[in-house]
Amino acid sequence: MKVILLGTAAGGGFPQWNCACEQCRSSAPPRTQDCVAFSADGTTWHLLNASPDIRTQILATPALRAGPGPRETPLRSVLLTDAELDHALGLLMLREATGLTVHAPAAALHALTEHFPARMVIEGYHSWDWISAAETTVDGLNVTPFPISDKQPKYARASTMPGPWVIAYRIHDPATGGSFVYAPCLRTWPPGFTAFTRGATLVLLDGTFYDGAEFATATATATATATATGTADPAVQQGMGHLPITATLPTITGHGGTRWAYTHLNNTNPVVNPHSVEHAAVLQAGAELPPDGTEFTL
């Protein structure tokens, strides 16, 4: 199984167009918004989330380029973790694709129908299959979803649709025994998540924030009250739906046999700078901070 990190930044990418924080003014390498492609054979491909940067990401990835026919593409499905705009807006860019299947939590499909009518827009171009995420098989790869939280997108906060609204995925290749977990949005470390990741070859984990104070500090807001111990600020952790790296790094340290890599990095996160002490601390703890375009063979 092949896995390509098309983008590794949180919403808005890095640097972010409307931000003049220290990170965005630095010379740190740019990152596009988080999205992953995976394939059993390197011929047909599936996406985990569809970022607003999907066109740029596809054109930068030879395996995903159109062909061999003049209007053929190797893309077969999109697996959404949720209905957040930075994870779903790319569907509109893919609207001219034929035969795509979209897997997503039922609540996310509801949001993309009733609150942000992406489905209606896309159906004006092509008829896709929209399926509530469940254990399934794509190209011989076993796909298992795991409920993460009931965090709703801002545009759907008035919805009474029951969750889960956010899920993670585990993709397993029976032919090689390789597997990976994709969890870019962790509001908490939910019960059963440790077991869900156990034995995975690779885990792509939420790395949005480094600690609970950084967002407020970088953006000159006053919402953060994180302690010096690295405990996540409740306003960030619950309001934005992301545990900071300082809360998860001790949990993953020492899990032998599994590669842990942080993705979905916010523009305020100091780990985006490869020369920062925070970047070095993550690597020293045994986790990875791969850039856009990183490929894994599992």
CB of 259 closer than 8 Å to CB of 285: no
Q: Is 115 left (phi over 0), alpha (psi -120 to 50) or beta?
A: alpha
CATH number, domain at 211? Answer: 3.60.15.10
Q: Is residue 219 part of a domain?
A: yes
- Does residue 296 fall inside a structural domain? no
Per-residue confidence (pLDDT) for residue 257, from 0 to 100: 85
* pLDDT at residue 254, as a whole number: 66
What tokens does 179 get? Answer: 């597997």
Structure confidence at residue 218 (pLDDT): 58
Q: What is residue 219's predicted lDDT score, i.e. its pLDDT? A: 54
The whole-number pLDDT of residue 101 equals 97
Q: How far apart are CA 166 and CA 183, in angstroms?
A: 9
| Res 123: pLDDT | 94
Asked whether residue 179 is domain-assigned, the answer is: yes
Q: The domain containing residue 277 runs over which residues?
A: 2-291
Task: Round to whole Å and give the CA distance between 17 and 153.
Answer: 21
Query: Within a domain: residue 298?
Result: no
The HSE-up count of residue 171 (CA atoms within 13 Å, CB side) is: 24
297 within domain boundaries: no
pLDDT at residue 255 in the model: 65
pLDDT for 110: 97
In a domain, 107, yes or no: yes
Q: Give which of 59, 28, 85 is closest to 289, Cα–Cα.
A: 28
pLDDT for position 253:
77
Residue 175 belongs to some domain of the structure:
yes
Count of structural domains within the chain: 1
* Residue-level pLDDT at 224: 40
Q: In the prediction, which pLDDT does 231 show?
A: 43
pLDDT at 124: 93
Q: Could you give the strand order of the β-sheet that contains 45-48, starting from the edge strand earlier in sequence?
A: 129-132, 101-104, 75-79, 45-48, 35-39, 2-7, 295-297
Residue ranges of the chain with pLDDT lower than 70? 215-240, 254-255
Angle between helices 245-252 and 277-284 (to 10 degrees): 20
Does residue 67 form part of some domain? yes
Q: What is the reported pTM? A: 0.92
